[in-house]
Amino acid sequence: MRKIALFSFVVSMGLCFCLLVGNVIAKNGAKTGDGSAASKLAVVLISSKIDNAENIAAAVDERAVKIVYDYREANLKLINLTIEEIVQWKGRKVDHLVIMCHGAPGNIHLGEKEIIDLNAVKMKRENWATLGKLLNTGARIDFFGSEIGWGTDGANLISAISNLTGVAVGASKNSAGNIHDANWKLEATTDLNPVNPPINFSQLMKTPIYF
């Protein structure tokens, strides 16, 4: 039985994990997949600040690792430590990292005290480089959240993250969700080879989501 420390994160990982006194316990410590292309590892991180975050988690592909994290405590360093634990548990690096959180043009609202803009990326370049080492060659990071990739600020932000992590990065130009003017598109990207996120968005049609 493998214990994965997720600090004070609120965790939802389907049948793989259960919440126990602030830690997550893997019910089966065996490695999944053999490292082949068919067993690519996707991780979906969902901010607890998003209304109906648990509904989004329920729509994530069962083969992906999904976490609804505590927005009040989250920061990039803790995200990295969590990804590192997942990599150790799964026995392979991450191929697709999806982060769903609030945002603004050129800003990622990762946590209550972790608002990431271009200057913050430069200040924490070592943390982004560390994240890059946990990602596979050809991996990508996608940010769903209000206008994160909008305009020059958004383009510069995802470009800087791509340069430091060494992987392609995509982001929303509009609000994310399925009501008002929101959508599930990632209009801003550093490459021309987007990958569909491991989320069944049609499952969310009856749940109003906007962030």
Quote the pLDDT of residue 203.
96
Q: Decide: helix, strand or coil at residue 194.
A: coil
Give kind and range of the element (H or E) at residue 92.
none
pTM: 0.85
Judged on CB neighbours under 10 Å (0-12, 13-18, 19+), 178 is middle
Choose among 198, 104, 182, 91: nearest CA to 142.
198
Choose among 103, 129, 98, 100: nearest CA to 116.
103
| Rounded Cα–Cα distance for residues 108 and 102 (Å) | 7
Angle between helices 125-133 and 151-165 (to 10 degrees): 60
Start-end of H helices in 20-103:
53-58, 76-90
**Type of residue at 104:** A
Quote the pLDDT of residue 39.
82
Domains parsed from the chain with CATH numbers: 38-204 (3.40.50)
Cα 27 to chain centroid, rounded? 23
Return averaged pLDDT per consecutive 10 residues of the chain, 211 residues in all: 44 34 32 51 99 98 98 98 98 99 99 98 98 98 98 99 99 97 96 94 96 98
Judged on CB neighbours under 10 Å (0-12, 13-18, 19+), 167 is buried
Judged on CB neighbours under 10 Å (0-12, 13-18, 19+), 6 is buried
